[in-house]
Structure 1
């Protein structure tokens, strides 16, 4: 995975405000001298107002905390399905099949008779479809585009029936109070299952918090629109991820009630600060947290420092304290690319660094400052070649560790389960199946690298993802249950041929009130009608051009 670099195209990480705003913050010489001197009276008044002096300083040590990871049992002999079953085990398929049957029975009055084995086949077929990427689902059962591994096990109508009735919770068991408080109650068991698996993963010394979009364009009360995202419309998901892309925790945004403990406190700084504090609850002390300008604020950095969690992020000009005086953009531009200005708070807890490349980039950190400086290769439009530009340590550290969420988003987008549905619950279920597979591959790849596995023997993401439906469709996974329905390969349900008419029954045609027409059951006829035999309940044509009703009963 290539490290992310802040480029001139990434407007989200740059402050595009005009120079006039920056120049308005430049103090007079008397103010500069007073801000750099030690005045006890000013210190007392600033402490009363919860303000600190800021001064130009070349040295910044930051928060000194040792990372203390929690011990996690290692399993070096894991197979592919062992990784996948961390998120979706046999109990998930059994519970979901029962709830789907219950849903179908309540809606139609008939039993779907869906077993856990058949649900595994459905999930396997759906994952395989995402790898093949046909433009329409019906094409997998088409005459010329048929996929044998799917059509021999499951019919098209069965696939659509299961998908439209897919449920992970019993609606009747949810109280009205729970429905009011939790807008995600329809998929809450699935979210808790995947979240438990993510929380059991080993913690990384560096993590990043960022937004992730669950694509959905239908009607949903918690749908958001985030301009600039590859999928701007859908459900917003706050994600905590390692630099490798491994998702460690997440929280779907459902309005101001998402973080009830933050209302009236950090909510004044926006929803970003409560989201970071919520996702950092499972982190051990010393973990370095990264986030972008949407989340960063000085109160958030202070709150994380109280928990012994150093943090770094790009910051908006509007969130920089008024006491901070940074060099104007025009002055840095005249000094050339790579010019840096650093301001440190007097208690040495927070540093604010302004770096000028093509545009100014402002960062705030409780861990890293501008030193030690290094060199980075950047493209020069003027010289039409790559040049070496001085880069502060905080920018290098930010680029190296911030892109975890973007990495897993890109992986999921390559072979995402794309199915047209009006139900946000179904879309979210498929999203977290994709997330579980992507997380599984990252774990698999990391374990193989630790075991010094040759690179050619490590499966790529597409090959890894295809292996999962192979096991689900053909029953090749190791069985962890003694249930009889888990021991055999699922068979396709075939429609029985129409029975021959009984001579003891009176056969009369009747017009049904069905919404859709049915295909004529007489051999050789392909017409669709709404007429059926009252005696044998078989749909047959009865028109002036063709009388299949008479032909069928004379056989």
Structure 2
């Protein structure tokens, strides 16, 4: 039975049903949790009652359960002029029902969620100016220490708040007097960063007799470390709304830290924070290296520096722009860009991939036809196939690398699409992986990792601007940050000739 062939559905119920259907016309970010499908089916069951008029579904309604693996690389615009037979995408028109069966409530500001139709026509293409007037701040006269770069993101204010809220939580939960200080919280963060540089099978082993590791064990006792981890808190639980409250925030436990990062932080993609514990926000992504965890939508530059992000919490992840979930996420992540139909109205042109079944009947060659033509075959309705270049690809039959034609649009896409992948790779290299009963600690670890990676990338940029070679690799940079944090509140002076405890990590003697 068709989902929309339910009986006795009011206009409001129809709108709710349409709201549950994701719109994937614009992006590859449309494959989300199966919870969305469950929500859709549950809504249909509620709407089904006795006899009434039927609402007919569009005959071209897409099957959201089938994943199409074939992607078609597209782009919106480019400087190169088009040939006369290039196809231009006209504005989208809403497929409003002529029968008047589906009507929005009078006075409602609800954006239209009806199916959209694309019209294609042959026009002379005039390429817009796609130059990006970017600004990169000049480097400081003197390069700061790794710890100073790190504290650009994890500031003293947020560390003070963690210390304060941890003390409050200890008293609320167990009547414990924790008496944590800012210096102790900094030492705790330093230990966390250090544990992923020097890994052991169990956290307790850093303090064990057989495997004792002085750079950690000498900072604080194991019992104190465990107590600080037990009561680690960022916000007052007394301010949390009940789960039945419309203003309930699923990310309440880490909201202050996330808001802080929003203030201090351009490609858009998703990232998984590994997590297999219990949480209503846990997602499964079968095509990701970390299949279980928290889903994070990110905006990152080609350098890998992360500028903005949104954790996926289901409904309420971002504001409703009327573009479907995928489009809404992209718009939300681009709100912090200078503003100038969606991204184009803001002066932001884009290049990306789109699923083949979301092309809106664009008259491109089929996958079968392209395969018959062989490797590097293409069909384009995009102005910038020229200038064509070549790239190396491995040929299985000849067992060697061969030159294949590469359209300019593909070259442009490959140039900028890897920002999030690069950031994800760097985060995975030295990611904190200490187990905790608190689900939100995974997001805390992720934020610490983002702060380290962003700090290192900005440090490298400053070195390049000054015409110098970076002195620290990422692991050395993280080790310096860890050392600086663990020495907080301790005597900074060292005896002459004494070798730092972490010198072996930095490759120095």
TM-score by length of 2: 0.71
Secondary structure of 1:182's match?
Answer: coil
Secondary structure of 2:454's match?
Answer: helix
Aligned residue in 1 for 2:368: 330
Aligned residue in 1 for 2:410: 395
Are 2:339 and 1:274 equivalent residues in the alignment?
A: no
TM-aligned CA distance change 1:423 to 1:52, over 3 Å = closer
Contact 1:65 1:285 in 2 (8 A): no
Contact 2:319 2:332 in 1 (8 A): no
1:51 shift after superposition: 5.6
Contact 2:68 2:357 in 1 (8 A): no
2:378 to 313, 321, 340: 340
1:259-338 correspondence runs (5 A): 259-262=318-321, 265-267=322-324, 271-284=325-338, 302-322=341-361, 324-338=362-376
Rg comparison, structure with higher value: 1
Q: Comparing 61-70 with 433-442, which one deviates more in the overlay?
A: 61-70
Aligned residue in 2 for 1:505: none
Are 2:500 and 1:462 equivalent residues in the alignment?
A: no
Unpaired runs of 5+ in structure 1?
1-13, 19-35, 199-206, 287-301, 344-350, 352-367, 476-485, 491-555
Partners of 1:275 and 1:45 in 2: how far apart?
Answer: 20
Partners of 1:139 and 1:100 in 2: how far apart?
Answer: 25
Partners of 1:155 and 1:45 in 2: how far apart?
Answer: 64
TM-aligned CA distance change 1:384 to 1:56, over 3 Å = farther
1:90 shift after superposition: 1.7
Unpaired runs of 5+ in structure 2?
1-66, 72-84, 97-115, 494-509
Are 2:134 and 1:69 equivalent residues in the alignment?
A: yes
Are 2:255 and 1:217 equivalent residues in the alignment?
A: no
Aligned residue in 2 for 1:195: 262
Partners of 1:45 and 1:461 in 2: how far apart?
Answer: 46
1:48-447 correspondence runs (5 A): 53-54=119-120, 62-69=127-134, 72=137, 74-77=139-142, 78-176=144-242, 180-198=247-265, 207-262=266-321, 265-267=322-324, 271-284=325-338, 302-322=341-361, 324-343=362-381, 351=382, 369-447=384-462
Partners of 2:365 and 2:421 in 1: how far apart?
Answer: 32
1:63 shift after superposition: 3.4
1:329 shift after superposition: 2.8
Secondary structure of 1:388's match?
Answer: strand
Aligned residue in 2 for 1:479: none
Q: CA RMSD in A?
A: 3.0
Secondary structure of 1:313's match?
Answer: strand
Aligned residue in 2 for 1:449: 464
1:471 shift after superposition: 0.7
1:74 shift after superposition: 4.6
Contact 2:271 2:297 in 1 (8 A): yes
1:331 shift after superposition: 2.9
- How far does the alpha carbon of each residue in 1:484-509 deviate from its partner, in whole angstroms, 9 at most, with x for none? xx57579xxxxxxxxxxxxxxxxxxx
1:110 shift after superposition: 2.5
Secondary structure of 1:337's match?
Answer: coil
Higher helix share: 1
Secondary structure of 1:315's match?
Answer: strand
Secondary structure of 2:303's match?
Answer: coil
Secondary structure of 1:132's match?
Answer: coil
- Structure number with higher relative contact order (C-alpha < 8 Å, ≥ 6 residues apart): 2
Partners of 1:73 and 1:95 in 2: how far apart?
Answer: 32
Partners of 1:212 and 1:46 in 2: how far apart?
Answer: 33
Aligned residue in 2 for 1:522: none
1:32-47 correspondence runs (5 A): none
Partners of 2:398 and 2:319 in 1: how far apart?
Answer: 54
Secondary structure of 2:278's match?
Answer: coil
TM-aligned CA distance change 1:60 to 1:423, over 3 Å = farther
Secondary structure of 1:409's match?
Answer: helix
Contact 2:268 2:299 in 1 (8 A): yes
Following TM superposition, the consecutive aligned residue runs of length 4 or more in structure 1 with deviations greater than 4 angstroms are: 43-53, 70-74, 175-179, 486-490
Contact 1:56 1:342 in 2 (8 A): no
Aligned residue in 1 for 2:10: none
